[in-house]
Amino acid sequence: MRRNCWRPCLSLASLRGIHGLTRRAYSLGCETGELVGPMTAGHVLPCRAAVAWEAGKPLVIQQVEVAPPQAMEVRMKVKYTSLCHTDLYFWEAKGQTPLFPRIFGHEAAGVVESVGEGVSDVAVGDHVLPVFTGECGECRHCQSEESNMCDLLRINTERGVMLSDGKSRFSINGTPINHFLGTSTFSEYTVVHAGCLAKINPLAPLDKVCIVSCGVSTGLGATLNVAKPKQGSSVAIFGLGAVGLAAAEGARIAGASRIIGVDLNPNRFEEAKKFGVTEFVNPKDYDRPVQQVIAEMTDGGVDRSVECTGNINAMVSAFECVHDGWGVAVLVGVPNKDAVFMTKPINILNERTLKGTFFGNYKPRSDIPSVVDMYLNKKLELDKFITHRVPFSEINKAFDLMVKGEGLRCIINMED
């Protein structure tokens, strides 16, 4: 069947005209004034987006057009988003093939505006978190209880288009703008594959739970789902950035009695106490490998370790600092693709276990809603991760803060 390529486009003025009516007539459980429902479904929506035109250059906030969702896609209104180091890394175009112009962003929360053909798991008005990886529900990985590495929707940093037709849903005057990680949340509206959306409790504050969709879940799950420390155990965390502190938060929740933070920046130590870290080690303060220092501190080694830097030396230290017989080390940080990890085989033969993890072993659709519930049940503390807030018009300030190494997470209010 020949598909008509023409799509009706609402003007900004017409959007303002139906803005108040839409919520009352069509949305489900959304805040007053939410622009969702049949009055916008099927239309190309003009909205603001922060577009990266060149590597390392300030994002430009300008009007883009967002096409309707196709089969198995969802168009959502982004309410809040935050900046992650992954955004910064690809914005700087370090270590990979640059892809510009592009709309970055992948930690966010919002509301479903419209759905494409075949979408049944979410509906208009649902509160959702977009995730950089997905869960098709049909492949071997999705069918396995042990894996979250979906064959269809696994993270792809080089793809700038949607899977269904190989085209972008963003454009400016007819010129396509590349997607990022299938999410592109630095836009007031974005289109995401349905398998990359986690439907969450509508009572959860979107300006806080938005950080669950990447960094927090990655670190938290590395500890709770992979390392699995027991009550009263000892845990070493390598790297006290946002992901490392989320790993420490997981150790705190699990009831670890000793949480040892390892970092080269002593300025991070005081902040880490809020996340349950009880002791601190700066490798620069010693003339011997840090794994030896930790082994001496813990009578042979810690029960669990989580490495969150991606530095090869830190990875070796994290593995070699766990106790023989039962110690488990989990690698979270992503090294250079050509990096080589070396350790003596006897370290493995002496019954130390080395594991890797991706997104904390969480399946996006199945598991992330429960992480949000952990926050609502006051088990997981999210507020302490949020150190800055800026309006969307000042999104470049969030980049400045991260470049300077200031703060953990900066929340960007898309409606300010």
Choose among 147, 148, 333: nearest CA to 240.
Answer: 333
Apex 87 CA angle, 81 and 90, nearest 5: 160
How far is 306 from 389, CA to CA, in rounded Å? Answer: 29
Q: Strand, helix or coil at 190?
A: strand
Marked catalytic residue, from 30, 136, 196, 308: 136
For the question of residue 154 being annotated catalytic, the response is yes
Q: H helices of 223-274, where? A: 242-254, 269-272
CB 354 within 8 A of CB 322: no
Q: Is 150 a catalytic residue?
A: yes
182, 194 in Cβ contact below 8 A?
no
Determine which one of 196, 210, 214, 321 is catalytic.
Answer: 214
Please pick, among 7, 16, 85, 140, the residue that the annotation labels catalytic: 85
Let me know if 157 is a catalytic residue: no
Q: Cβ distance 386 to 208 under 8 Å?
A: yes
Q: Of the residues 47, 142, 210, 308, which is catalytic?
A: 142
- 86 in catalytic set: yes
Whole-angstrom distance, CA of residue 271 vs CA of residue 337 = 31
Catalytic residue among 34, 65, 81, 150: 150
| Cβ-based neighbours of 407, under 8 Å, separated by 6 or more | 387, 388, 401
3-state secondary structure of 164: coil
| Residue 30 annotated among the catalytic residues of the structure | no
Catalytic site residue from 107, 113, 188, 307: 107
- Among candidate residues 92, 139, 159, 258, the one labeled active-site is 139
**Catalytic residue (one of 102, 106, 169, 365):** 106
210 is catalytic: no
Pick the closest to residue 362 from 353, 354, 374 (CA basis). 374
**Catalytic residue from among 47, 84, 308, 321:** 84
Among 22, 81, 86, 309, the active-site one is: 86
Is 142 catalytic? The answer is yes
Selection from 108, 56, 57, 55 nearest residue 84 by Cα: 108
Does the annotation mark 409 as catalytic? yes
Q: Which among 19, 48, 154, 258 is annotated as catalytic?
A: 154
Query: Dihedral of CA 15/17/21/25: which sign?
Result: negative
Q: Nearest-CA neighbor of 134 among 170, 162, 100, 102?
A: 162
DSSP 49: E
CA distance 236 to 399: 29
- Which DSSP string do the residues of 370-384 spell out, in sequence order? HHHHHHHTTSS--GG
- Which of 82, 125, 108 is closest to 192 using CA atoms? 108
Contact 8, 45 (CB under 8 A): no
Q: In sequence order, what are the beta bridge partners of 236? A: 260, 305
Q: How far apart are CA 340 and CA 352, in angstroms?
A: 19
Q: Which residues are catalytic?
A: 84-86, 106-107, 136, 139, 142, 150, 154, 214, 409
